[in-house]
């Protein structure tokens, strides 16, 4: 889509509250750049006051944010590799790459198991059993991990893609698991 109109430099404009995809902060800047034609805004660029990076908003039927905010929430106290993979899962979700997000969620469960003491190079079922036997997965969470396994199998071996609803449920459970395993113990250790 071509955006016709005139861009104007940094100006004061109506503030826009949004979740910055770059730094995960909720912000509401009131300065930015805008493109208009005949006094109608077609596009806006807001600069995040937290990280100083730009976010573009384009008017279609409604204002569309590019880049989209990450799905889910950030989690503190994650080991570097697990944090990297979790951010990648969230980014896949924000860009509607649900099959890729579910495959990465499955990989992340394996990484959590290995980080918790499981042997590397095992099959997925052994990792799930390990997480359950070590009490890392709550008793009621085994079904969710099994759902990740099944969705990962579908994503890997079947033609239909994973739908948004299933992917969001899986990533929401993953977020819950990461909070139990890493964030809460990290917070307790700080205090």
Element at 56 (helix H, strand E): strand 54-59
- Residue 160 neighbours by CB distance under 10 Å: 8
* Residue 59 and residue 132 share a domain: no
* Residue 163 and residue 84 share a domain: yes
∠ CA 72-76-80, rounded to 5°: 100
* Residue 26 and residue 59 share a domain: yes
Nearest Cα to 55, choosing from 95, 23, 92, 12?
Answer: 23
Q: 48: domain range?
A: 6-66
- Alpha-carbon distance of 111 to 54, in angstroms, equals 33
- SS3 at position 10: strand
- For residue 71, tell me if it sits in a domain: no
Give the total number of structural domains in the chain.
2
Per-residue pLDDT of the chain (191 residues; tens, 9 = 90+): 566 778 888 888 888 999 999 998 999 999 899 988 888 888 999 999 999 999 999 988 888 999 999 999 999 999 999 999 999 999 999 988 999 999 999 899 999 999 999 999 998 889 988 998 998 888 777 777 777 777 777 776 776 778 899 899 989 989 999 999 999 989 888 77
What phi, psi does 172 have (nearest 5°)? -65, -40
* Residue 168 and residue 109 share a domain: yes
- For residue 73, tell me if it sits in a domain: no
Q: What is the pLDDT of residues 43-54, one digit of tens each?
A: 999 999 999 999
Residue-averaged pLDDT of the chain? 88
* Residue 154 and residue 93 share a domain: yes
User: Distances in Å between the alpha carbon of 22 and those of 26, 74, 76, 93, 190?
Assistant: 11, 12, 17, 15, 27
* Residue 162 and residue 90 share a domain: yes
* Residue 111 and residue 62 share a domain: no
Q: What is the pLDDT of residues 107-130, one digit of tens each?
A: 999 999 999 999 999 988 899 889
pLDDT at residue number 18: 95
* Residue 173 and residue 121 share a domain: yes
* Residue 113 and residue 180 share a domain: yes
* Residue 12 and residue 93 share a domain: no
């Amino acid at each position: 889509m071509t955006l016709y109109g005139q861009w104007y430099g940094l100006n004061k404009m109506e503030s826009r509250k949004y979740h910055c995809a770059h730094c995960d902060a909720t912000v509401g800047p009131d300065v930015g750049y805008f493109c208009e034609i005949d006094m109608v805004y077609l596009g806006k660029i807001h600069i995040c006051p937290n990280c100083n990076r730009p976010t573009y908003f384009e008017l279609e039927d409604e204002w569309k944010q590019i880049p989209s905010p990450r799905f889910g929430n950030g989690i503190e106290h994650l080991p570097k590799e697990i944090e990297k993979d979790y951010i990648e899962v969230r980014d896949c979700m924000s860009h509607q790459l649900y099959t890729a997000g579910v495959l990465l969620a499955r990989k992340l469960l394996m990484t959590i198991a290995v980080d918790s003491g499981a042997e590397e190079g095992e099959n997925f079922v052994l990792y799930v059993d390990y997480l359950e036997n070590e009490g890392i997965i709550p008793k009621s969470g085994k079904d969710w991990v099994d759902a990740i396994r099944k969705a990962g199998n579908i994503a890997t071996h079947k033609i239909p893609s994973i739908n948004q609803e299933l992917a969001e449920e899986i990533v929401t459970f993953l977020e819950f698991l990461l909070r139990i395993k890493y964030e809460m113990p990290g917070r307790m250790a700080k205090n």
